[in-house]
Amino acid sequence: MSFTLAIVGRPNVGKSTLFNRLVGRKLALVDDQPGVTRDLREGEGRIGPVRFTVIDTAGLEEVTDASLPGRMRALTERAVDSADVCLFLIDARVGVTPVDRTLAELLRKRAPRVILAANKAEGRAAEAGLIEAWELGLGEPLALSAEHGIGMDDLLRALEPIAAEFPDAAAIFEVDVGDEVDDNVDEEGGGAALPAGRPIQIAVVGRPNAGKSTLVNAILGEDRLLTGPEAGITRDAIAVTVDWMGTPFRIFDTAGMRKKAKVQAKLEKLSVSDGLRAVKFAEVVVVLLDVQVPFESQDLRIADLAEREGRAVVVAVNKWDLEEEKPQKLNELREAFGRLLPQLRGAPMVMVSALTGKGLDRLHTAIVKAYAVWNTRISTARLNRWLAAQTADHPPPAPAGRRIRLRYMTQVKTRPPTFVLFASIPDAVPEDYKRFLVNGLRRDFDMPGTPIRLYLRSGD
Ligand code: GDP
Ligand code: GDP
């Protein structure tokens, strides 16, 4: 017997979308009583190696206040009672609503295990909602995008300990590392296998001709042409999974990857939005510069976007083989980097030649390190010892004579590292003091190059 997972949440948070992703094609409609449009749906779900029964309460009417109408309550209770674990979805873009609070209360009382997830978490608009989700008192929220298949690896990790209690939940699966073009990302999050060592999701972005396809092909190890621009137009993304120097990577498409494909003209139009989309899917963004035209405005825009989206960034300067004055050029590049991309201070910059393969080992190391830094988790105890030392040396200013007390700090999420600082008058904490704290965190906890978020909240 495997376990049963119930997807619960108010209407429109994405339950059906997630259900369909987990169940894939083998969708079954059950319990479809006459007179009721849709009731509990049930199907066989799979994520990575874990198999389970999934039930979903989708199809309920929207409610506007905190009181759950009878039908919604009854159905949710029934789902909760039949499930071993509840996956509680909120909409990260909307944040926590009164109905969410009521459902959270119900789950806290009634459900044996609850996993909290903030759906629609692709992109920056979701950040505040994700942090709000902590208020529900159900632990760390997962950031998911049911529609785009983001966060399925985190969901898998959350389900693994539960699967371990149900011996039949784990199925044998094949690792798809080194496969052909994976052109069905749509089903990937749910149905398809995730390798045992989770792939690091990367995107290679940069101007046309920077050498993106050459680099991706070098990583893939052969001159494999990735075809199928139609795929890119109709689907969210294409990706290829590969084992590169012993590490599994999933590389998301950019126009560059598909430039040799059939519909050349359309690709030109696609290139910018494509790069932007690849950034949303990626965990680590490799900004590929051409040493002959480095730090062009397009490069700067996409690097800035990657930072704002909270991705780890590695800057790679390509065509280094063409450079004759290497030491001098290196100095110039460092200076330009610091001046033009101050928001990425400390991010690694690696010189490579995609054509000759030189420097690719260093690029690999930089990506793996950036990914690790992006995943940094600091205990609350360490953070507060650190905060006490910082504020002793360098207390916050007292604007207009009002003393700001900094009470307590906690890391609310990783990827990128995100912290909440509780202060007596949060609005009075000046930007430069926040920057001082962020720089201190970066320095003292060894987090170079990764975006760090710091939010202030009021607290006593
Ligand atoms: P349900 O009522 O909870 O079952 O929600 P649905 O699955 O029907 O989704 C409600 C709406 O949210 C639909 O328009 C979906 O396409 C959309 N949606 C679902 N998941 C996501 C997501 O991850 N991101 C975004 N942006 N929209 C999503
Ligand atoms: P994309 O548009 O970013 O995908 O760029 P391509 O990979 O198609 O490369 C554009 C041009 O730059 C091609 O002529 C490549 O052969 C050349 N190129 C790519 N990488 C290097 C490199 O490391 N050194 C040199 N000398 N040329 C390169």
For the stretch 203-244, pLDDT in tens is 998 888 888 888 988 887 754 444 333 333 323 345 677 888
- Name the residue at shortest CA distance from atom 11 of ligand 2: 209
Report the chain's mean pLDDT, rounded to a whole number.
79
Domains 4-171 and 200-374 share a fold: yes
For 321, the token pair is 């083989």
pTM of the model: 0.61
Q: Is the peptide bond preceding residue 416 cis, with omega within 30 degrees of 0?
A: yes
- Name the residue at shortest CA distance from atom 9 of ligand 2: 211
Name the residue with tokens 């909440």. 420
104 CA to centre of ligand 1 in angstroms: 20
Q: What's the CATH fold of domain 380-458?
A: GMP Synthetase; Chain A, domain 3 (3.30.300)
Residue 294, CA distances (Å) to 42, 160, 210, 321 in order:
54, 45, 9, 15
CA within 13 Å, CB half, 376: 27
Contact 254, 204 (CB under 8 A): yes
Q: What is the mean pLDDT of residues 128-137?
A: 87
Of 34-38, 65-69, 90-94, 131-135, the range with the highest mean pLDDT is 90-94
**pLDDT tens digits, one per residue of 372-396:** 999 898 988 999 999 999 999 899 9
Residue 426 DSSP class: G
CA gap 147, 277 in Å, rounded:
14
Q: What is the pLDDT of residue 167?
A: 62
Q: What is the pLDDT of residue 2?
A: 81
Q: What is the pLDDT of residue 298?
A: 84
**pLDDT tens digits, one per residue of 402-423:** 888 898 888 878 888 988 898 8
Pocket test for ligand 2, best of 209, 298, 353 (most atoms within 8 A of CB): 209
CA angle 151, 153, 154 (to 5 degrees): 65
Q: Is 192 in the pocket of ligand 2 (CB under 6 A)?
A: no
Domains of the chain by residue range = 4-171, 200-374, 380-458
171 in helix, strand or coil? Answer: coil
353 CA to centre of ligand 2 in angstroms: 9
The neighbouring-strand residues paired with 85 are 5
> Which ligand is located closest to the Cα atom of residue 152?
1
Ligand 1 atom at minimal distance to the Cα of residue 144: 23
Q: Tell me which of 64 and 217 has the higher pLDDT.
A: 217
Contact 229, 176 (CB under 8 A): no
Q: What is the pLDDT of residue 294?
A: 94
Contact 5, 53 (CB under 8 A): yes
Q: What is the pLDDT of residue 267?
A: 41
187 CA to centre of ligand 1 in angstroms: 16
Q: Is 208 in the pocket of ligand 2 (CB under 6 A)?
A: yes
Q: Which protein residues are within 6 Å of ligand 1, measured from CB? A: 9, 11-17, 58, 119-120, 122, 145-148
Q: Is 97 in the pocket of ligand 2 (CB under 6 A)?
A: no
ipTM of the complex: 0.62
Q: Is the pLDDT of residue 308 over 80?
A: yes
The number of helices, as runs of H, and strands, as runs of E, in the chain is 14, 15
Q: What is the mean pLDDT of residues 248-253?
A: 78
Q: Is 259 in the pocket of ligand 2 (CB under 6 A)?
A: yes
| CATH superfamily membership of 4-171 | P-loop containing nucleotide triphosphate hydrolases (3.40.50.300)
Q: What's the CATH fold of domain 200-374?
A: Rossmann fold (3.40.50)
Percent of the chain exceeding pLDDT 90 equals 33
Ligand 2 atom at minimal distance to the Cα of residue 318: 23
Q: Could you give phi then psi for residue 323, rounded to 5 degrees?
A: -80, 130
Q: Is 257 in the pocket of ligand 2 (CB under 6 A)?
A: no
> Which ligand is located closest to the Cα atom of residue 10?
1
**For the chain, first and last CA: distance in Å?**
48
CA gap 212, 40 in Å, rounded:
47
**pLDDT tens digits, one per residue of 168-189:** 554 322 222 222 223 333 333 3
